[in-house]
Amino acid sequence: MSSVRVLAGTRKGGFVLTSDGKRKDWKVDGPFFAGWEIYHMKGSEADPNRIYASQTSGWFGQLIQRSDDGGRTWRQPGLKPGDPDMTAFPDKAPNRFLYDTSSETGKPLTTHQWYDGTQHPWEFKRVWHIEPSLTDPDTVYAGVEDAALFRSTDGGESWHELSGLRGHGTGSQWAPGAGGMGVHTIIPDATNPRRMYIAISAAGAFRTDDGGSTWKPINQGLRSQYIPDPKAEIGHCVHHVAMHRSRPEVLFMQKHWDVMRTDNAGESWHEVSGNLPTDFGFAIDVHAHEPETIYVVPIKSDSEHFPIEGKLRVYRSRTGGNEWEPLAKGLPERDCYVNVLRDAMAVDRLDQCGIYFGTTGGQVYASPDSGETWAPIVRDLPAVFSVEVQTLN
């Protein structure tokens, strides 16, 4: 029987939650890296034993952790023989992130970088999102704050910037959202290894068609009332983007306000918020087997990050947007004032698709029946930053 592994990154450590295909009884392991922010954890589809974790601290900096046994044990890629364990001595962090200050135009990549055409160690606040390759467990991407994109081809031992993103020329128009300016969404195209989508808060969405050498902004149709030009192609606060891999040109977006859809790989977007009670939120995902079934968690407003009337609801559209239904069975009916962050929703790939999300109140909820009913896997974790799922055979 297939089983499921849920990876929860929290404010004070990472957790691995496992269950069989019934998804009723769960084993909770952790916290791993207790006391550290685990901004994101994600497993490899190419190797079900491989998991990457972003371990960060405002005081000590950023580490990448890797497990090769499904989360039972962890190591820091980049450690050399004789190096100390960097969890104990994080000021000597071994992860070697290199950024490339060169560009095709010979100009600085951003206005605040200096240029001499060489590579230098990269200092940044955190890795927001880790995205393993769909086919190679040793190839993995990292989106960081301030916004840049890195790739490792040796399992995280070393990292090199895909500098075409910052070299695109629009960097002077990028600005941080309320949570910072990071690359928070990385979506590879399963049908085209040279195509990938990313999103930055608050710059917008971008696409590469040549493996990351060059990037194109894909924000036509987005509207944001608080930027100088509401119709500008750069400057939109995109919260998250989701795609069903069978249709790589169809993407769904939860924007700062508005739920959006594109049917042409981002060349143009149109709103599909429809009858949602509010179109503000952070998380969005797509059913594993139904490409027109999408899920969001509406939040009251950009100043009040909690469910409307204190009632936690997931909303589902089975028509690709516009027509939405609330899913509430098993979720709190009152006095619930948690938030669901952008990377805190995921789906499994079992025949009866399961939906999962985590809250800033420390709950992780699971639905084994595509959202019809919900139950908490665990209630009292630290604030949940991310939820990812591995479906295991």
Summarize pLDDT for 66-108 with one digit per residue, the tens. Answer: 999 999 999 988 766 555 554 444 444 445 565 544 443 333 3
- 348 CB contacts (<8 Å, ≥6 apart)? 4, 23, 288, 354, 356, 389, 391
What residues make up the domain containing 34? 3-392
Domain count, the chain: 1
Both tokens of 188, joined, read 């590879």
| Per-residue pLDDT, 166 | 85
Per-residue tokens: 241: 């983007």
CATH at residue 150? 2.130.10.10
| 142 membership: H or E segment, kind and range | strand 140-145
Distance CA 340, CA 307 (A): 9
Instruction: Tell me if 317 sits within 8 A of 336, measured CB to CB.
Output: no
Write out pLDDT tens, residues 38-69: 999 999 999 999 999 999 887 777 889 999 99
Residue whose C-alpha is closest to residue 242's, from 191, 208, 280, 293: 293
Report the pLDDT value the prediction gives residue 108, as an integer from 0 to 100: 32
Using a 10 angstrom Cβ sphere, with 0-12 exposed, 13-18 middle and 19 or more buried, the burial of residue 275 is exposed
Whether residue 84 has a cis bond before it, omega within 30° of 0:
no
Ranges 74-88, 101-115, 272-286, 312-326: which has the least confidence: 101-115
pLDDT digits (tens, 9 = 90+) for 126-174: 899 999 999 999 999 999 988 899 999 999 988 888 989 988 888 878 8
Query: In angstroms, rounded to a whole number, what is the distance separating the alpha carbons of residues 292 and 323?
Result: 11
| Distance, CA of 172 to CA of 66 (rounded, Å) | 34
> In whole angstroms, what is the distance from residue 218 CA to residue 196 CA?
12
Query: Can you tell me the distance from the alpha carbon of 126 to that of 129, in angstroms, rounded to the nearest whole number?
Result: 9
The more confidently predicted of residues 107 and 121 is: 121
Residue 243: partners with Cβ closer than 8 Å, 6 or more residues away:
187, 197, 250, 251, 252, 286
